[in-house]
Chain A
Amino acid sequence: MLIAALRKELLLQWRSRAQLLAVFVFGAAALLLFSFAIGPNTEALRQFSAGFLWLGLLLSSTLTLSESFHAEMENRALEGLLLLPASPRAMYYGKAIANWLQLAILGAFLIPVMVVLYDAGTTRIFSLLGVIALGTAGLSAPGTLYAAMTAQLRAKQTLLPLLLFPLIVPALLASVKATSLAILGDPMEQWKAWIVLLLVFDAIYWSLCGLLYARVVEE
């Protein structure tokens, strides 16, 4: 059932792949703009590159997440799907995993932009990708739940970030720290603590949001 729900979501996303491209361009533009806030100071830009990458990813994620219920809202299909035998939980996890994949791909594509703009090259590309995967998982679990709530409201563009941003502070903090350690070097082996924090955050919210989602969409 989960597989079916996930397949449906991935198919939907594949059809709207132009949107992913647009969000990527948005994120890259944000990264470009951040460097103007610092000025052409290569050392400072490299120092803050991890923070900028995650802020760019966070801003782009609100676009991805708020669009993720677009198809259902358009055709009032959320009610229709509730009539199907598919459990809301399977629907939620399908959607959340699809959002996670999309955000992780987005993050992976933003890495080269960061490397070029901020001179933030690193050889630890796999640990960087791992952090992106864990961090975007932390964004997508609560993000998908809040997107389901706010998709039906007038002020969804404002409310989704308003609800999501304070919540993901720990995930953002840990991701920025871990990314920064991967780029700038990690002489004291601190990355483990941040990865554990990300894992705990992901575990808590992937289970809690799955539990609560059924209540959010019930009629």
Chain B
Amino acid sequence: MPETVRSLSRTPFVLIGIGVALFLFGSYWGLFISPPERFMGEVQRIMYVHVPTAWNWMLAVLFAFFCAIAFLFRGDLKWDARMDAGLEVGSLLAFLLCVQGSIWAKPTWGVWWDWDPRLTSVAVLLFAFLGIIALRRFVDDPTKRAIWSSVATVIASVDLPIVYFSVKWWNSLHQQQSTPETVSSVFYIPLRVNAFAIFFLMIGFIMLRSRIAALRLTNEVAPPPLMAEQAGEMA
């Protein structure tokens, strides 16, 4: 039974639909219904999209890390396809975090980039993941590509806490910054709704992306037609 676009599972599209609806609802709440915050004013509203992105980015990194571990232990290429998805969606979220973070930093601290340990660790891991994605493009053998990129993913994920603490120590001498409150009940609803919105979007994206990676793998592993014909003649 050949696979067509219609025969694929609908689940990711349903999840993305739910995510879009929730995102519209949560952002509407965050932008128009929530009152401006006491100190941060309107700029606080950036947090309703920034913090949910950060939570989900962590989940995406954890997902890629566990897929890498699972591949190294099991050797099943389906984990490689999932890790591929986790790497790409994780990079997308990390990129968004860097953009939102600098948009937040400019009106708050007057600079686009203020070497906040969290944001700096995100940027470092973004480059690490982009490096792994680049590595994958240059390895033709699917097994080698899977092993090498899962090894690199494990190494890069282990680095995340070390980067965080080193930047924190490095930065602690030159300034202390307060975190705006995001837990007060007025700010609770848009934050939670957007967290689930981006979560559903992320799951949908990861499912679609690993589907693509799996299809690509089967297309790669399938013998080229010419060789198959030759093999048939010889038989």
Contacts and interface: CB of A to CB of B under 8 A. Distances in A.
A–B: direct contact at CB < 8 Å: yes
Given A162-B134, A165-B127, A204-B162, A216 B170 contact: no
Contacts of A218: 147
B154 A212 contact: yes
B81 interface: no
Contacts of A130: none
A172 to B, nearest CB: 9
B158 A159 contact: no
Contacts of A153: 135, 138-139
A200 to B, nearest CB: 7
A173 B166 contact: yes
Interface in A107-148: 142, 145-146
Interface string B136-159: 001100000001100110111011
Contacts of B169: 193-194, 197
Interface in A171-219: 173-174, 177, 193-194, 197, 200-201, 204-205, 208-209, 212, 215-216, 218
A95 to B, nearest CB: 16
Contact of B147 (A159, A170, A216): A216
A159 B155 contact: no
Contact of A149 (B127, B135, B158): B135
Contacts of A154: 138
A38 interface: no
A106 to B, nearest CB: 23
A149 B128 CA distance: 15
A216 B147 CA distance: 7
B124 A169 contact: yes
B131 A155 contact: no
Contacts of B124: 166, 169
Contacts of B134: 158-159, 162
B127 A166 contact: yes
Q: How big is the A interface, by class?
A: 20 to 34
A1 interface: no
A44 interface: no
B117 to A, nearest CB: 11
A163 interface: yes
B121 to A, nearest CB: 9
Contacts of B72: 212, 215
Nearest to B139: A153
A170 B135 contact: no
Given A149-B135, A159-B135, A167 B155 contact: yes
B135 A166 contact: no
Q: Which residue, of A162, A193, A204, A208, has the highest number of chain B Cβ atoms within 10 A?
A: A162
A162 B131 contact: yes
Interface in B33-75: 72
A142 B155 CA distance: 8
A135 to B, nearest CB: 13
A212 B155 contact: yes
Given A145-B155, A162-B131, 5 more contacts: A153-B139, A166-B159, A177-B170, A197-B169, A212-B151
Interface of A: 142, 145-146, 149-150, 153-155, 158-159, 162-163, 165-167, 169-170, 173-174, 177, 193-194, 197, 200-201, 204-205, 208-209, 212, 215-216, 218
15 contacts: A150-B135, A153-B135, A153-B139, A162-B130, A162-B131, A162-B135, A170-B159, A170-B163, A170-B166, A174-B166, A197-B162, A200-B162, A204-B158, A212-B151, A215-B151
